[in-house]
């Protein structure tokens, strides 16, 4: 389990430390206080020296592989660094994992594309690398083949190094997407944003995992207590044999694809299914309450706790919804569950510094129930 994390140079955090982390961690605070950046920092640390998930989530929030404009990607790279005044750009993530301290340091040398984006960097030219190379020679036959085609040569955006205490991995970050890595992440991690449930392929993976492990009916039964119109979940191929998205079966025998239902149904299946799919991992969930109606929240939270503990998944969760947190704490109370490994982390920016307070579940429940403490 991740017990502590120290963030340096990432987004708004010059240096920030969170310790006394639990198995389930709620991160509360106002807009733009840095809640999502905490989730991204935890995910970045878990990525270790593997740049692929790091570029896809914290840097571009799922856009990198689809963006073909070099300046756009360069701007997103710039946005993750707290100090943009000196080169090379630097940041680090240090975590204590099951008692062992593990630190990953990122050092980034941008290409000369940066100087045309922002001329103020020209004075630091010795810290900048060329963005283009000469294209390799081609034979006449290949040249003829390519003559009617527009070939886009990769543009180098940055030389990126990720180092731990024992080794370093170096990457060329390019546009179009070109970085590759066979390095395993330090810890298996999953990032769930408010649109993650729309990923049809991953929903099929979740369905397959639940089916193979014999717990699909358990998930359906839990959902039926809130959504009585669901009689089952299936994956029915199209008439030509091609793969179809998973479908919700209705009591009258008809079926509709899951994406025809509201976000509440989709997120319920996706989040709880992801906890089953990504066992022994860290899962970061942004705005967990989105789409989950207040009447459904206690049942959802009860399942969230059960699935996370059963699969040894550490959760980091953000929400603005105080009602959702109250429902979560009420489940602990009504089910007499041990909340010693659950934390509520409140973040407030007083204009001079970020104030962070960590409460365990029993503290948070008492303060909410007896004093109506505002923890957002």
Q: Per-residue pLDDT averaged across 323-347, rounded? A: 86
pLDDT of 82 over the 50 cut:
yes
Cβ proximity of 367 and 359 under 8 Å: yes
| DSSP calls for 207-249 | HHHHHHTT-HHHHHHHHHTT-TT--EEE----TTS-----EEE
Chain centre distance of CA 27: 14
Classified as helix, coil or strand, 117 is: helix
- Structure tokens belonging to residue 38: 């905490």
Report residue 161's pLDDT band, with 50, 70 and 90 as the boundaries.
Answer: very high
| Lowest model confidence (mean pLDDT) among 45-59, 305-319, 353-367 | 353-367
DSSP for 171-198, please give it: EEEEESS-----PPPSS-EEEE-TTGGG
For residue 186, is pLDDT > 90?
yes
What's the burial of 198, exposed, middle or buried (CB within 10 Å: 0-12/13-18/19+)? Answer: middle
Better-scored residue on pLDDT, 345 or 144: 345
pLDDT of residue 136: 42
Q: What distance in Å separates the CA atoms of residue 262 and residue 267, rounded to the nearest whole number?
A: 9
Q: Give the model's pLDDT for residue 145.
A: 44
**pLDDT exceeds 60 at position 301:** yes
pLDDT above 60 for 238: yes
Among 23-32, 195-204, 365-374, the minimum mean pLDDT is found in: 365-374
> Over 50: is that where the pLDDT of 125 sits?
yes
pLDDT at 133 > cutoff 60 = no
Where are the alpha helices (H) located in the chain, listed in sequence order? Answer: 35-47, 51-54, 70-79, 113-117, 140-146, 200-212, 216-224, 263-277, 294-310, 322-334, 361-371
Give the span between the Cα atoms of 333 and 338, in whole angstroms: 9
pLDDT of residue 368: 84
Question: How would residue 142 be classed by pLDDT, with cut points 50, 70 and 90?
Answer: very low
Q: Are strands 282-285 and 314-318 parallel, antiparallel or unpaired?
A: parallel
pLDDT more than 70, % of the chain:
90
* pLDDT number for residue 14: 95
Q: What is the pLDDT of residue 143?
A: 45
Which phi and psi angles does 317 have, rounded to 5°? Answer: -130, 135
Three-class DSSP category at 263: helix
Report residue 331 as tokens: 């489940």
- How far apart are alpha carbons 46 and 38 in whole angstroms? 12
Residue 132 clears pLDDT 90, i.e. is over it: no
Rounded CA Rg of the chain:
23
What is the pLDDT, as a whole number, of residue 124?
83
Give the pLDDT mean for 107-133. Answer: 85
Phi (first) and psi of residue 145, to 5 degrees: -65, -40
Per-residue pLDDT, 146 = 42
Q: How far apart are CA 16 and CA 5, in angstroms?
A: 8
Average pLDDT, the chain: 88
Dihedrals phi, psi of 167, to nearest 5 degrees: -160, 175
CB 271 within 8 A of CB 288: yes
Residue 160: per-residue pLDDT:
95
Determine the pLDDT at residue 41. 98
CATH 3.40.50.300 matches 191-371? yes
Phi, psi of 275 (to 5 degrees): -65, -35
pLDDT interval class at 189 (50, 70, 90) = very high
Query: What pLDDT does 376 receive?
Result: 63
299 burial level (CB within 10 Å; 0-12, 13-18, 19+): middle
Predicted local distance difference test score (pLDDT) of residue 205: 94
pLDDT tens by residue, 344-361? 999 988 877 788 999 998
Return the minimum-mean-pLDDT range out of 60-69, 84-93, 178-187, 188-197: 60-69
**Residue 89, exposed/middle/buried by CB under 10 A (0-12, 13-18, 19+)?**
buried
pTM above 0.85, yes or no: yes
pLDDT band at 373 (very low <50, low <70, confident <90, very high): low
Which one, of 281, 288, 197, 315, lies nearest residue 245 by Cα? Answer: 197
Least reliable range by pLDDT among 43-52, 60-69, 221-230, 346-355: 60-69
pLDDT at res. 332: 85
The residues, any chain, with a CB within 8 Å of residue 148's CB and separated by 6 or more, are none
pLDDT at res. 137? 43
Asked if the model's pLDDT at residue 70 lies above 60, the reply is yes
Instruction: Return the domain boundaries, the chain.
Output: 49-133+155-184, 191-371
To the nearest 10°, the Cα dihedral for 253, 259, 263, 266?
70
What pLDDT shows up at residue 219? 93
Angle among Cα 353, 358, 363 to the nearest 5 degrees reads 140
How many CA atoms, within 13 angstroms, populate the side-chain half-sphere of residue 313?
A: 25
């Amino acid at each position: 389990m991740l017990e502590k994390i120290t963030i340096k140079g990432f987004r708004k955090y010059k240096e920030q430390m969170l310790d006394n982390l639990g198995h389930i961690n709620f991160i509360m605070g106002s807009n733009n206080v840095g809640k999502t950046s905490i989730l991204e920092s935890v995910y970045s640390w878990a990525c270790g020296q593997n740049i692929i998930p790091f570029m896809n989530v914290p840097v571009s929030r799922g856009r990198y592989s689809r963006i073909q404009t070099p300046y756009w990607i360069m701007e997103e790279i710039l946005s993750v660094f707290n100090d943009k005044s000196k080169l090379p750009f630097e940041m680090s993530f240090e975590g204590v994992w099951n008692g062992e301290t593990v630190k990953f340091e990122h050092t980034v040398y941008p290409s000369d594309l940066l100087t045309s984006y922002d001329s103020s960097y020209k004075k630091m030219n010795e810290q900048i690398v060329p963005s283009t190379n000469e294209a390799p020679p081609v034979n006449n036959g290949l040249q003829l083949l390519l003559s009617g085609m527009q070939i886009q040569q990769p543009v180098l955006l940055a030389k990126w190094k990720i180092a731990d205490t024992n080794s370093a991995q170096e990457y060329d970050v390019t546009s179009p997407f070109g970085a590759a890595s066979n390095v395993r992440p330090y810890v298996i991690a999953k990032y769930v944003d408010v649109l993650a449930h729309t990923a049809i392929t991953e929903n099929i993976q979740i369905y397959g995992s639940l089916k193979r492990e014999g717990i699909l009916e358990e998930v359906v039964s839990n959902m039926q207590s809130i959504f009585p119109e669901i009689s089952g979940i299936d994956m029915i191929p199209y008439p030509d044999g091609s793969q179809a998205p998973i479908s919700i079966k209705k009591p009258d025998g008809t079926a509709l694809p899951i994406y025809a239902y509201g976000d509440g149904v989709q997120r319920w299946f996706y989040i709880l299914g992801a906890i089953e799919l990504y066992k022994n991992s860290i899962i970061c969930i942004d705005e967990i309450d989105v789409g989950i109606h207040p009447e459904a929240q206690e049942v959802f939270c009860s399942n969230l706790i059960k699935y996370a503990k059963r699969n040894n998944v550490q959760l980091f969760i953000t929400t603005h919804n105080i009602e959702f947190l109250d429902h979560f704490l009420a489940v602990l109370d009504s089910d007499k569950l041990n909340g010693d490994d659950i934390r509520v982390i409140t973040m407030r920016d007083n204009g001079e510094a970020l104030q962070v307070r960590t409460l365990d579940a029993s503290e948070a429940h008492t303060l909410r129930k007896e004093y109506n403490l505002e923890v957002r």
